[in-house]
Amino acid sequence: MPEAPMTLDPDALRWQAVLDRDATPASGPFLYAVTTQGIFCRPGCPARPPLRRNTRFFADAGSAEAAGFRACRRCDPKGERAAMQAEAVAAACALIEAAETIPSLETLAARAGYARHHFLRLFREITGVTPRSYAEGVRARRLQSALAAGDRVAEAVAGAGFGSESRVYEDTARHLGMTPGAARRGGAGEVIRIAHAESAMGPLLVGATEKGICFIGFAEPPAALEGDLRARFPRARLEPAPESLAEAVRQVAAFLAEPSAALALPLDLRGTAFQRRVWEALVRIPLGETRTYSGLAAEMGMPAATRAVARACARNPVSLMVPCHRVVGASGDLTGYRWGVPRKAALLAGEKRARGR
């Protein structure tokens, strides 16, 4: 007669999560209380773990409070402090959005009721960028909108809050990813070479500027792929160039068929400073490995910026070379992928095979 399968004690799993300070335990969310201190905590609380005999487990804050325990001030298990901090940062973002010039860090911190350095840390943790970088992003959006509407460059620069045109031209990549004139023209004057091909995952389109690859799309009809590229560069001239892009197409198609090594092609990535930082972090994920969105944010030193990191992953225009398919949900599930979850699964499986060889 076969033996019955052994089941693990849920409390044993929870206790191990407390010892490991595992903020996302496999046993599911829970809170633990310390009977000798009268408090309840998250399993990831940085405080010294209690003795096992002094520990009780609860499903939620309500049941812990009903048993007479109060919330730990250090790990904030009810999220009250985190909500207050998020509200303060949201108010600061609104102030930046409404201001004609960039508010000083001292002004923002005083409005929020925090010390200057404390507020700077909170803002960076929640938004993923500093207040200065956020404000520069606001100015860049204003500038881009004005240029897209056809405003003259000088008027758009002044209206966006830049002191002079020279400040924009000094670092066009950081502000727009292109010169103000090119942004005003929606890519007009730029030539994007394109090449269509068939791949193991359906139609493939590779687009490149003179600087490098700016678009990789696959698994959709050629017209849809080209439409996606045109939406990114509405006034650029697309020029078929199958011969000059033959080697790039060959490498991309080979990767789709059987990933064996990271793609190494010159890139022309256009995004905000934060987006490019996320994309650079994606490139550093080794072949055959995955990260969660929260894990990637933590690796970047911004554990509270999980949603912002996920948004940046979703806006990646160069699939495969910037491997957003290597990011999965907290549970390990293959979350949404621009080119379809089955293809994401196939890419990851191929990469794991290559890593094992």
Encoding tokens for residue 331? 């549970």
User: By C-alpha distance, which of 181, 183, 249 is closest to 215?
Assistant: 249
Radius of gyration of the chain (CA): 25
CA atoms within 13 A on the CB side of 281: 24
Q: Which amino acid is at 267?
A: L
Q: Which amino acid is at 344?
A: K
Q: What are the angstrom distances between the C-alpha of 159 and each of 93, 138, 140, 190?
A: 19, 12, 11, 26
Cβ neighbours of residue 165 closer than 8 Å, sequence gap 6 or more: 153, 154, 157, 180
DSSP 12-59: HHHHHHHHHT-SS-TT---EEEETTTTEEE-TT--SPP--GGGEEEES
CA atoms within 13 A on the CB side of 98: 7
240/139 Cα distance (integer angstroms): 35
User: By C-alpha distance, which of 108, 116, 101 is closest to 159?
Assistant: 101
Which residue of the set 93, 214, 313, 324 is catalytic? 324
Q: What is the sign of the dihedral through the CA atoms of 36, 40, 43 and 46?
A: negative
Placement of tokens 């076969």 in the chain:
2
Q: Is residue 30 within 8 Å of 22, Cβ to Cβ?
A: no
Helix (H/G/I), strand (E/B), else coil: 180:
helix
Length of the chain: 357
41 tagged catalytic: yes
Q: Is residue 291 within 8 Å of 328, Cβ to Cβ?
A: yes
SS3 content of the chain, % helix, strand, coil (to 5): 45, 15, 40
313 tagged catalytic: no
Cβ neighbours of residue 231 closer than 8 Å, sequence gap 6 or more: none
Residues labelled catalytic = 41, 324
